[in-house]
Amino acid sequence: MTEKRRLGSAGPRVFPVGLGCMPMSLEGRPDEAASARVILAALEAGVELLDTADAYCIDEGEMGHNERLVARALREWPERERVVVATKGGLRRPGGGYAHDGRPEYLAAACERSLRALGVERIDLYYLHAPDERVPFADSLGALARLREQGKIRLAGVSNVDAAQLTSALDTLPIACVQNRASPFHPQGLEDGVLALCEREELAFVAHSPVGGWQAGRIAHEPLLQELASALGATCHQVAIAWLLARSRSLIPIPGASRIRSAEGSAAAAGLRLPPEAVSRIDRHYGEPAS
């Protein structure tokens, strides 16, 4: 049986691989009914953490698209209480681009919109999407603290932060999770001090883009991963996810998917056990782990 991983010292335990829902709301996305089937297939495969954000959409005119999609799928799922939905605020989509907005008043309004989009009274896990260099970090964190005190969010998290910013966040409010990038193509995400701090403080490190993000098409052509995947009867994507799981008990990868096969394959990676020598080979090939 796959052992679950905790979302922070006081958070729930969840299946060790989550689902990144972002691809279902970008250009080239499937229709909403097909996307709902992808989410439901992931849940059927054991996934219990769904990752979304208000800014997962094509432009400012459809903010909340991905959240509404998640809510639609969950209306068809009979075990809603076992699913943790994580969303984020603090990013806008003007003209289809991306702009940070960490102002407390913006975060308060964004949270209200996310509550409506998700159709809930309290958000399971709410992240600051990224620090806004124009706004004091403490001010953005204070907004999350107030949302938590008001009962609008259960758990608070920060995303796309460095170790110093995470330390500052921990001084301001209880943080359950950090969501940062980490993959074989971005091993520095495991070596910059954030993962070590998560381990020490009993936080979850939720790894976004675990198979490369915009480089995901490359991963199936990596000779080392191909060799290991062939030996283990797996795919290169599954080997990459299993490598992250083997690196730390704090890690929870959230590979994205817009097809049922991808969602099911990612979930199956939770049961793949990489031999220690395979983990070491990937470490050496893509960058030595921190000592």
Q: Say how far apart CA 46 and CA 42 lie, in whole Å.
A: 7
Coil, strand, or helix at residue 180?
A: strand
Which residue in the list 56, 126, 127, 286 is annotated as catalytic? Answer: 56
Residue 148 near residue 156 (C-beta atoms within 8 A): yes
106 is catalytic: no
Length of the chain counted residue by residue? 291
| Tokens describing residue 106 | 């913006």
What distance lies between CA 253 and its chain's CA centroid?
7
Q: Which sign, positive or negative, has the C-alpha torsion 31, 33, 39, 44?
A: negative
Catalytic site positions: 56
